[in-house]
Amino acid sequence: MKTILPSIRMLGVMTALTGLAYPAFVWTCGHTLFRRQAEGSLMSRNGVVIGSELLAQKTADPRYFMPRPSGGDFATVPSGAGNQAWTSAALAKAIADRRAVYPAGAAVPADLVTASGSGLDPDLSPTAIQLQVDRVAAARRLDGRQRRALDSLIRRETAGGRWTPARVNVLKLNLALDEIYP
């Protein structure tokens, strides 16, 4: 009986500290010091939020670079991989179907035919982006000079490469592409 009242008080104190005070402190620090990141790294065009640079965006328009395939159809709530074994016939068929979109004999990087673990990976390798350049340039009717400018844009949007794998954020690239060739 002696320990019940102190235990209840300790429960109240710890609940207030770890359930209220600490989350409020972390939230305040995040929104004060890193507001953009705390709000989800949202990207906007003309004042309208169009996505987050942390999540892949579904697009079927040939004028845009396509993101990595998604196991959850780019939905954030049921995100995740397909959880199929490498011996799965369904996985082999999905990869073959995705591979068929690209020219025969082309070296198609894995990030264009396999889904990421989350199904929402916003980045592609520069090789995967380069494989899509012909389609995007044709859909936007770009001439030779504009095509070279597109290659320059891809190099400018490429991050990493020295100590981390080189990667291109597809949404950022598509937004930059729209600015140059609306």
The pLDDT tens digits of the residues spanning 82-114 come to: 677 788 898 889 888 888 888 888 888 888 888
Rounded Cα distance, 94 and 91, in Å: 5
Q: Is residue 160 scored above 70 in pLDDT?
A: yes
Q: Which pLDDT tens digit goes with each residue over 114-156?
A: 877 776 788 899 999 998 998 999 999 988 888 888 988 999 9
CA distance 114 to 88: 13
Residue 162 Cα distances to 54, 122, 156, 158, angstroms: 21, 20, 15, 11
CB of 145 closer than 8 Å to CB of 104: no
Identify which of 122, 130, 139, 70 has the alpha carbon closest to the alpha carbon of residue 103: 130
Q: Where are the alpha helices (DSSP H) in the chain?
A: 4-16, 22-33, 35-38, 89-99, 110-113, 126-130, 133-139, 144-157, 170-180
Asked if residue 148 lies in contact with residue 99, where contact means CB atoms within 8 angstroms, the answer is: no
Assign 21 a pLDDT band (cuts: 50, 70, 90).
very high
According to DSSP, the β-strands at 167-169 and 123-124 are: antiparallel
Tokens of 171: 């949404």
Say if CB 136 and CB 122 are below 8 A apart: no
Cβ neighbours for 45, distance < 8 A, ≥ 6 positions apart: 175, 178
Is 80 exceeded by the pLDDT of residue 77?
Answer: no
pTM: 0.74
Per DSSP, the three-state class of 25 is: helix
The four Cα atoms 115, 182, 46, 159 give a dihedral, to 10 degrees, of: 40
Q: What is the pLDDT of residue 71?
A: 73
Task: Decide if pLDDT at 27 tops 90.
Answer: yes
